[in-house]
Amino acid sequence: MPAPPNDARSREGQVVSVRPSGSDGVILRVALEERLPPLRAARFFMLRREDRLSPAIPRPFSLYRETASGELEFMIKVMGQGTQALAKSTPGTKLRVVGPLGNGWPALTGDGAPWVMLAGGIGSAPFYMAIEQALAGMDGQAKCKPSEIFYLYGAAKADMLYELADFQKLGVAVHTCTMDGSAGKKGHVLQLLEELQSAGKIPKSVRLLACGPEKMLEAVELHARKNALECWLSLETLMGCGVGICNGCPVPTVPEGPMGAWPNAKCCVEGPVFKTDAITLCGAH
Ligand SMILES: Cc1cc2nc3c(=O)[nH]c(=O)nc-3n(C[C@H](O)[C@H](O)[C@H](O)COP(=O)(O)OP(=O)(O)OC[C@H]3O[C@@H](n4cnc5c(N)ncnc54)[C@H](O)[C@@H]3O)c2cc1C
Ligand code: FES
């Protein structure tokens, strides 16, 4: 399926609500001037406040959820100035919203190996709609049965498993792990995957989707290469413009791979989702 076109239009948005999520996150709900057409999961928007609290350069965020009335929700981990400003918004705060941008996950069809979704902390943001869309079928594609999706959710500690209760209501198998053992299995998502596969709860042949910290994605890429699994990564590369102009978001490509001879892809316009036959974070291919 071809990637959806970028819509680099800049729109005014208005904050509807901000509520805390986990120990260091917020769920920011935004109303736009106009309703957007259906959006594929893992597409993203560049956001900043209209006032001077936000840095001049907007920050990229995956779409977390869309409400029935078309309001957009973002799940945001508060890091530096840009995310702090967004987290301090109140209902009515004016935002600049550029998007939807990027390609989103591939079509999550139910006609092959099961999908294993590996989320690390705030990397869970692009998975909520992915599960919803896979179960509902999108763009006329074959729906997934709940038994064809496994959501493996890892974090440093229990209160960084943002919105876990909502993921658990989606009707697919949700397994958790934390590095400190405060929730689920102690360890990281690949250890959890291997344990579930050894116990026969997840088949060996699966299709992987992953989003999380770069070190986690490097490990997932290596795992996919070693086991010859199809694998897509949604990258959270630092970005400047978000629309392909500044060259600020390079991702190393596999030499002479599907992306051709150019050594770097642009995460914002050619991603943020890449198949691991096309790019390499760990340098292997
Ligand atoms: C396509 C895409 C989707 C994203 N989706 C989400 C999302 O849904 N929710 C969310 O919370 N974040 C998401 N991010 C990451 C988010 O954009 C950054 O956390 C944000 O830009 C940080 O801005 P800041 O001004 O608060 O921090 P800054 O002041 O810019 O940075 C604070 C610290 O965080 C580090 N940092 C900043 N950005 C990143 C990053 N991408 N990876 C690792 N370290 C970083 C900086 O080096 C610095 O040390 C996404 C990024 C991309 C590219
Ligand atoms: S962020 Fe500017 S080219 Fe990608």
Is the sign of the CA dihedral 117, 136, 274, 34 positive or negative? negative
Query: Residue 274 domain-assigned?
Result: no
Residues 55 and 135 in one domain: no
CATH number, position 95: 2.40.30.10
Q: Which-ligand-closest: CA of 45?
A: 1
- Summarised one tens digit per residue, pLDDT across range 224-261 is 999 999 999 999 999 999 999 999 999 999 998 898 88
Residues 26 and 49 in one domain: yes
So what's the pLDDT on residue 3? Answer: 56
Q: What share of the chain is helix, strand, coil (3-state, %, to 5)?
A: 20, 30, 45
Ligand 2 contacts CB of residue 126 (under 6 A): no
Residues 135 and 224 in one domain: yes
- Summarised one tens digit per residue, pLDDT across range 189-205 is 999 999 999 999 999 99
Q: Is a pLDDT exceeding 90 seen at residue 6?
A: no
- From residue 253, alpha-carbon distances to 23, 41, 139, 271 in Å are 36, 23, 29, 12
Tell how far the Cα of 8 is from the centroid of ligand 1, in angstroms.
20
Residues 91 and 177 in one domain: no
Q: For residue 1, name the pLDDT band (cuts at 50, 70, 90).
A: very low
Residues 6+ apart with CB under 8 A from 267: 235, 237, 239, 249, 250, 251
Query: Residue 282 domain-assigned?
Result: no
CA atoms within 13 Å, Cβ hemisphere of 285: 15
Q: Is a pLDDT exceeding 60 seen at residue 28?
A: yes
Q: How would you class 204 by CB atoms within 10 Å of its CB: exposed for 0-12, middle for 13-18, buried for 19 or more?
A: exposed
Residues 64 and 132 in one domain: no
Q: What six digits make up the tokens of 235?
A: 């990258």
* Percent of residues, the chain, with pLDDT higher than 70: 98
Query: Residue 23 domain-assigned?
Result: yes
Ligand 2 contacts CB of residue 250 (under 6 A): no
Q: Which of 234, 221, 236 is nearest to 276 (CA)?
A: 221
**How many domains would you assign to the chain?**
2
Query: Residue 173 domain-assigned?
Result: yes
Residues 71 and 135 in one domain: no
Tell how far the Cα of 236 is from the centroid of ligand 1, in angstroms.
7
Query: Residue 265 domain-assigned?
Result: no
Query: Residue 22 domain-assigned?
Result: yes
Domain that holds residue 152: 115-236
Q: What is the mean pLDDT of residues 67-82?
A: 97
Q: Is a pLDDT exceeding 50 seen at residue 19?
A: yes
CATH number, position 194: 3.40.50.80
- H helices within 88-138, ranges in order? 128-136
Residues 149 and 224 in one domain: yes
